[in-house]
Amino acid sequence: MNIHTKLISLFSILLIIVVFASCKKDFEEIDTNPLGFTKASDGSLFNGVIQSVLLSGNEQFYVNNEILYKQTEQAALTKSAWGNFTIGTENIWSNYYRALPAIRELEKRFDSYPPSSSVTNMRAMLKIVLAYQTFKLTDLFGDIPYSKAGYGFQDLTLLHPAYDTQRDIYNSLLDDLQWAADNLKNDSISVIEPFATFASFDKLFNGNIKMWQKFTNSLSLRYAMRMSGKEPEKAGAIIKDLIEKNAPVLVGYDFIGAKLESACLWPAANGFANNSVSWSFREHNGLRMGSNIWHQFSSSDDPEGSGIFDPRAIIFFEGDQNNKWVPYPQIPDGTTPSSQGIPYGSHRDSKDNYGLKNNVNYSPFNFFVIADENFMPVILMTGAEVHFIKAEAYFRGIGVGMDKETADIEYMNGINSSVEWWLTVAHNMKLPLSGVGFDEKNNIPSELNAASVLNHFGSWMAATEEEKLANIYTQRWIDAFRQPWEAYAEARRTKMTPRENGPIAHFRMPYPPSESQYNTENWNEAKGRQGGEEPETKIWWIPW
C-alpha cells in the first residue's frame, strides 16, 4: 500500500477515535493531538530514523543485485530473470517516506524546547541522518518530494507534496550539513539531559559528537564533489573550506598508522541480525564475480589464483565448486555456459558442508560477506573514501590548488586504509549458525596487502595523467563494493570507473508506480521538468 493511502486510512481511523472520545467525561483527552507521536520518546523516534538506513531485502534483491551491480560492473549478472524492479523501487521510496513523519515530528519538538547545546546537538544529528538518506534517494531518482514532504500528520493539505528539483535539494542539504558542522558541541554542557537519554538511542556513533562532526564533514566532501561538474563554484568553496581549515573528517590512514574510521551500523553491537542480505542473495542467485573486477584484482586469468595481488579479491569473492577462480564474462555470448549452482544457500553455514556449492561454474561472492548477519557492517561511508575524494580534489584542482604530490599521498592513504579496513572486517566475520570464522575457510597469503596493491596501482605505475585519475576512481569504486549505489553514482559522474561494456548508459531509476497513482499531478510535473524518467534520462548533476 502506498504511503499516501496509508496516511489517508490512518486519518480516517483517527477521526473516528476523536468522535468517540468526545463523548467521554474526561475532556482532557479531547485536548490531546490525535495525530502526534505522544507516546514515543525523542530517542525512540531517532532510533527508528537510524533504522531506516538499513537496506531491506527487496531493495537489495530487485535494485542492487538485479540492476546496480550490473550497471557498475562490480559483479556480473548471469541471468536477468526477474524484471520486477518496481518491487525494489517501491520499497526504497516507502522506507524513506515512512521515516519522514518521525523526522518532522522531532523537528517540531526541538523547535518547542528551550535552546541549549543538548538540543542543538540532537537537531544536528537528525539533520545529518536526513541528509544521508535524502542524498541517496535523490541520487537514484532525481527530483523528489522533500521540502513539503513528511508533514501530512501535521497538515492534511501536504499529503501530496510537490517535487523539489535535485539542484535545490543538494544546495539545501549541503547548507544543513554546514549548519550541523558549525553547531555540534563536544563539551560537558551538551551531554546533559535531554541529550544523555537521546544519545543512548544513537546506534551509529553512541553519542560520540566528534564522530558526528567527522561524518557530517565527510558527507559534505562526498556530495560537493558529486555536484562539482554542475556547480563548480559552490562545490569548490565547500571543498576548499573543509580542507583548508583542516575540518575533522573520517580518517582511514594518517601515513603513520591505520585509523580505519568509518560510519557503519554494526549488527551484533546493536542487537540485530542483518539477515536481509543473505535472503536477497540466496533467492536471487544471479550474481557472480565478473571479468571486469577480476582484472582489477589479478594480473592473470590463472584459475589457481596465482595472479591475485589484491587481498580484497579473496574477501569479496571465492572459488567455484572446485575452488578455481573463474570470472563470468562481463560480455557473455551464446557459447557462455550458464552459472548454475547454489553458492548462497544456507546449507553452507556448516563446518562440513561449507564447500558444497552444487556445481557452480563461476566464482561467487564470498559466502561470509553475504551470510554473516552479525559482524559484516552496514556501510554508510569509510575513511578510505574520504582519502580518494581528497586525492581527486588535489589532482584536478577542485577547490584547492592542483597538487599532484599531495594527491598521491591521499591516494596511497586511501589504498592503505581500504585494504586494511576490509582485512579487519574479514578477520572478524563469522557464520551466524555454525560460528565458523572467515579465517577457518579462507586463506589470504601474507604477501597480499596494501603494498601488493600499490605495486600494481601505485601512481608511479601509471603511464599517463589520465590513467592516474582513472586509478583514483578505480580504487574508490573497489572500496564501495558493498555500496553499489555509491559506485553507481561515481560511474555516472566520472565516466571513468572500470568497464568492459563501454560508457554507462543507465542514469536513473524510474519513479515507483504508486507515485503515478497517488501523487499524479506532481509526478507528471516532475517528469516533464526532467525530460522523462527513463533510465537513459540523466539526472541533474551528471556533467557530460
**pLDDT, tens digit (0-9, with 9 covering 90-100), for 189-226:** 777 889 999 999 999 999 999 999 999 999 999 999 99
Question: What element of type H or E holds 288?
Answer: strand 287-288
Distance between alpha carbon 183 and the CA centroid of its chain, in Å? 25
- Given a cut of 70, whether residue 335 has pLDDT beyond it is yes
- Given a cut of 60, whether residue 376 has pLDDT beyond it is yes
Q: Mean pLDDT of all residues in the chain?
A: 92
In 42-176, beta strands by DSSP E: 76-77, 144-145, 163-164
Query: Residue 510 in contact with residue 534, Cβ under 8 Å?
Result: yes
Among 23-37, 122-136, 440-454, which stretch is predicted with the lowest mean pLDDT? Answer: 23-37
> What's the full length of the chain, in residues?
544
pTM value is 0.92
**Strand 262-265 and strand 378-382: pairing?**
antiparallel
Cis before residue 194, ω within 30 degrees of 0? yes
Q: Is 163 helix (H, G, I), strand (E, B) or coil?
A: strand
Question: What element of type H or E holds 287?
Answer: strand 287-288
Contacts of 318 (CB under 8 A, 6+ apart): 343, 363, 364, 365, 366, 367, 442
> pLDDT class for 12, splitting at 50, 70, 90?
very low
Cell triple for residue 15?
477521526
Hey, which residues does 163 pair with through a beta bridge? 145
Q: Which of 166, 165, 148 has the alpha carbon at shortest distance from 157? A: 148
Between CA 78 and CA 329 the distance in angstroms is 9
Query: Residue 504 in contact with residue 492, Cβ under 8 Å?
Result: yes
Backbone angles phi, psi at 361, to 5 degrees: -85, -25
Question: What element of type H or E holds 16?
Answer: helix 3-21
- Given a cut of 50, whether residue 31 has pLDDT beyond it is no
Residue entry with cell 536477468: 80
In 347-439, beta strands by DSSP E: 378-382
Between CA 215 and CA 209 the distance in angstroms is 10
* Number of C-beta neighbours around residue 497 at 10 A: 23
Q: How wide is the angle at C-alpha 36 spanned by C-alphas 178 and 216, nearest 5°?
A: 15
Between CA 251 and CA 141 the distance in angstroms is 30
Per-residue pLDDT, 382: 98
Between CA 510 and CA 526 the distance in angstroms is 12
Q: What do you get for the CA distance between the two ends of the chain, in Å?
A: 38
In 200-277, beta strands by DSSP E: 262-265
Domains and CATH numbers, the chain: 87-232+243-248+505-544 (1.25.40.390)
Burial (CB < 10 A; 0-12, 13-18, 19+), residue 8, is middle
> pLDDT class for 36, splitting at 50, 70, 90?
low
Query: Residue 414 in contact with residue 252, Cβ under 8 Å?
Result: yes
pLDDT tens for each residue of 274-309? 999 999 999 999 999 999 999 999 999 999 999 999
Which runs of consecutive H residues, i.e. helices, occur in 373-437?
383-396, 404-428
- Given a cut of 60, whether residue 491 has pLDDT beyond it is yes
Contacts of 370 (CB under 8 A, 6+ apart): 277, 278, 281, 344
* Number of C-beta neighbours around residue 75 at 10 A: 27
